[in-house]
Amino acid sequence: MREPAVKEFKPSVCPLDCPDTCSLSVGVSDDQVVQVRGSQANPYTAGAICEKVAKYYPAFVHGEYRLTRPLKRVGPRGSGEFEPISWDEALDRIHRGLSRAIDEFGPQSVLPLNYAGPHGQISGGSMDRRFFHQLGASLLDRGPLCGVVRGTAYTSLFGNAPGMPPEQITQADVIAVWGNNVTVSNLHLARVIKSAREKDALLIVVDPKRTRIAEQAHLYIQIKPGTDVVLALGLAAELERLDAFDNRFIERWVEGVDPFMHEARKYTVSDVLGICGINQQQFEQLAEIYAGAKRLALSIGNGIERGHSGGSSLRAIMSLNALTGQLGRVGAGIFAKPGLAFPLTPEKLQRPDLIPAGTRTLNIVDVGRHLLDEHLDPPIKAVFIYNHNPVCTHPDQNRMRRGLGREDLFVVGADIVMTDSMAYADVVLPACSHFEFDDIYAAYGQSYLQRAEPVIPPVGESLPNTEIFRRLAARFGFEDPIFLETDAQLMDAALDADDPRLNGYRPSELALDQALLMNTQDEEAILMCNTVEPATASGKIELYSDELEQGFGYGIPRYEAVESHLPLMLISPSSSKRTNATFGSDAASQLTEMIEIHPDDADARGINDQQRVRLWNELGEVELTARVNDSVAPGVVYSCKGTWLNTSSTGQTVNALISADLKTDIMNGACYNDTYVDCAPLARILHEGNEDQGKFGKQG
């Protein structure tokens, strides 16, 4: 079926949970999005966008899964049986459901369950936060699901000072890409790396999966998942032996070297090779390249944080740049947290001053457990899910589903499309896509500030998040004028309008066809230990963190192995078809997901390429299609995250196999990649009649 002809192109911004935050040019015809392509407004993204945004957004906005009217549940929870209702009835039902929980158990029995659906400043967290803060609802620590481990690892070293912008990597002579699947999760960095390689830069890639960027590397190290801290510490000890430390830089800019190196020297080369699963030639070549680099740029991905030793790994890897003096010059630095350059003002936008004293904070990773905890005081009696698809993104999927399936729980959902999580709601509210409202966008992987306006009117009766929570605030009788603020006023509250880099404009007035670069306030390029300094208590890069020692017992990075009785380690990174679970409704994602398995492991289990297999552990089981190749090492299997429940005959996805109880070393993050499983051909399991069914986990 041919798409309608584009009548007009309008500027926009991609809001998805991705570091690049592309500027878009949206083709519109008769109030419909019919084409999405990149624009030149953002010089970093420069007209290029990922395939999934270009291909899947029109159907996401206008397809069969789109929510266009408020709904009430009329069938069993999770069945997806709903009837349309009016907005007035929906708001009344929500008021009654939340009030019932509050009257019996207090306001902390209400839990907002949201994460990073849209990354706009006002759609991601503004009027909604004000509403729940005024309500007195339980607070949610969202970072442990993804991001806070990496962010805290960085700030433990550098404080809240911005890291290297990606464009500077073009000037590096060595680029180390550590745990970052660039072409899937960081697309525009691939172009930067290509530019540097054309100037003869060397490329190092450390990753458990031989990704497309790994195939381009001068040195590719296929490391065992979760052992990066050992490689980094062992490399530090080897660089010290090679006299490759920059002692002048260390004296001026670095603290905590002695305790750090005491831990690093514990690892012999033999230890590193055995634990990390690499060979001596690779290790020696890695040390040689690090020691000889004039300008080494490091890119670290979020995948590293998804294991128990994730925080230690990230800190140890970044510490290598400090020890070798690879900071303070264009092309020498760490591509991490450039978003700290934005003059954001979350206190004005979200109003945490409204939070009642003593309000508890719950870890988002533990929500499934809390929903089933009979001793939690007060219990969770109402959940409001928005900007999030927890059923498809949280670890221990089946426990989350059992928790949301409680008949005594009142569940509200708001989303653009009907998802597996919305199916559990008593009331579902239709939310606007970002193409239908105003917003302003910072970024976490580049330094350009952008604004967008609607390119189409709201689809059906859908409303922006901000308007949904304005109406709820009115229904609950919240009379403070802050609950009447317009989207323009909210955008102005999101950033410091007095920041000189905004050139005198209010945030809500920024041009739509350009992006503002956030250099330093003196308009100098951001260079750590040069134009910006570490924002730590000492003013130096702190390899030893007193805060992490006091809070978690990890003042210095260290390795702790995770044991299991099952033989295969499952890693579940991002997909080229989805951003987390977004676009999981598209036909391209409705097929059985692939699992990549090494030929040795496949042969041992009688698994052939393209054969249906069942993957299991004590938590659950999922049906997948085998792809037999050596892109992963023996003992490791790889399947992308974000699929929906209907992709497997078991009604589960790989998230059902991931423990929510195992946590990262710092910040109590989710350990997605410390998941141990086994698998077998589906035909054999069906033939044997599941005589070993006891080894499979219970379905949701």
Confidence band of 43 (pLDDT split at 50, 70, 90): very high
CATH class of the 71-145+344-516 domain in this structure? alpha beta
The C-alpha angle 239, 241, 245, rounded to 5 degrees, equals 45
- Which tens digits make up the pLDDT trace of 474-484? 999 999 999 99
Class of domain 8-62: mainly beta
Which tokens belong to 381? 């009696």
* Structure confidence at residue 2 as a pLDDT band (50, 70, 90): low
The residue ranges of every structural domain in the chain are: 8-62, 71-145+344-516, 164-336+527-552, 568-695
Six-digit token pair at 33? 């999005």
Cα distances from 64 to residues 363, 385, 388, 431, 585, in angstroms, run: 34, 21, 19, 15, 9
DSSP states of 584-608: TTSGGGSSPPEEEE-HHHHHHHT--
- Nearest CA-CA partner of 123 in 421, 442, 404: 442
| Tokens representing residue 275 in the block | 């634990």
pLDDT, position 694? 41
The band of 691, judged by pLDDT with boundaries at 50, 70 and 90, is very low
pTM here is: 0.96
Rounded distance between C-alpha atoms, residue 166 and residue 168, angstroms:
5
Closest CA to 132 of 116, 97, 108, 105: 108
280-292 helix and 269-276 helix, angle to the nearest 10 degrees: 110
Name the class of domain 568-695.
mainly beta
Could you tell me which residues come within 8 angstroms of residue 459 by beta carbon, excluding any fewer than 6 positions away? 61, 62, 66, 68, 430, 432, 433, 436
* Helical H segments across 515-662, by residue range: 546-552, 599-605
CATH fold of 164-336+527-552, please? Dimethylsulfoxide Reductase; domain 2 (3.40.228)
DSSP annotation of 165 reads -
For the stretch 537-571, pLDDT in tens is 999 999 999 999 999 999 999 999 999 999 999 99
Q: How many CB atoms lie within 10 A of CB 360?
A: 11
**641 close to 655: Cβ distance less than 8 angstroms:** yes
pLDDT at 41 over 80: yes
Query: What is the rounded radius of gyration, in angstroms, for the C-alpha atoms of the chain?
Result: 25
Going by pLDDT thresholds of 50, 70 and 90, the confidence category of residue 282 is very high
- Please give the mean pLDDT across all residues of the chain: 96
- Retrieve residue 73's tokens: 């549940």
Given a contact cutoff of 8 angstroms between Cβ atoms, the answer to whether 264 and 236 are in contact is: yes
Other CB atoms within 10 A of residue 332 CB = 28
The answer, yes or no, to whether residue 699 has pLDDT greater than 70, is no
Handedness of CA 316, 317, 319, 323 (dihedral sign): positive
| Dist. CA 222–CA 286, nearest whole Å | 12
- Write the secondary structure of 50-115 as one string of H (helix), E (strand) and C (coil): CHHHHHHHHHHHHCCCECCCCEEECCCCCCCCEEECCHHHHHHHHHHHHHHHHHHHCHHHEEEEEC
CA-nearest of 213, 305, 127 to 665 is: 305
How many other CB atoms are found less than 10 A from the CB of residue 487? 21
Q: Helix or strand or coil: residue 31?
A: coil
Helix then strand count (H, E) for the chain reads: 23, 27
Give the pLDDT of residue 119: 92
Provide the pLDDT for residue 695.
Answer: 46
Structure tokens at 288: 């040689």
**3-state SS class at 560:** coil
Ordered alpha helix ranges (H), 242-353:
247-253, 257-264, 269-276, 280-292, 310-323, 346-350
pLDDT, tens digit, 9 for 90 and up, residues 500-525:
999 999 999 999 999 999 999 999 99
In angstroms, the Cα distances linking 404 to 324, 384, 397, 413 are: 50, 11, 11, 12
Residue 696 has pLDDT above 50, yes or no: no
Residue 407: pLDDT band (50, 70, 90) is: very high
How many residues are there in the chain? Answer: 700
How far is the C-alpha of 467 from the C-alpha of 451, rounded, in Å? Answer: 19
- Closest Cα to residue 82, out of 90, 91, 73, 95? 73
Query: Tokens standing for 558?
Result: 């260290």
pLDDT band for 185, please (50, 70, 90 cuts): confident
pLDDT for the residue numbered 686:
83
Tokens standing for residue 277: 């699963």
Nearest to 145 by CA among 312, 346, 302, 317: 302
pLDDT-derived band at 232, boundaries 50, 70, 90: very high
The number of CA neighbours under 13 Å toward the Cβ of 417 is: 22
DSSP 8-state secondary structure symbol assigned to residue 288: H
Task: Determine if residue 396 is left, alpha or beta; phi over 0 gives left, psi from -120 to 50 gives alpha, anything else beta.
Answer: left
- Over residues 3-12, the mean pLDDT reads 90
Predicted local confidence at residue 693, as pLDDT: 43
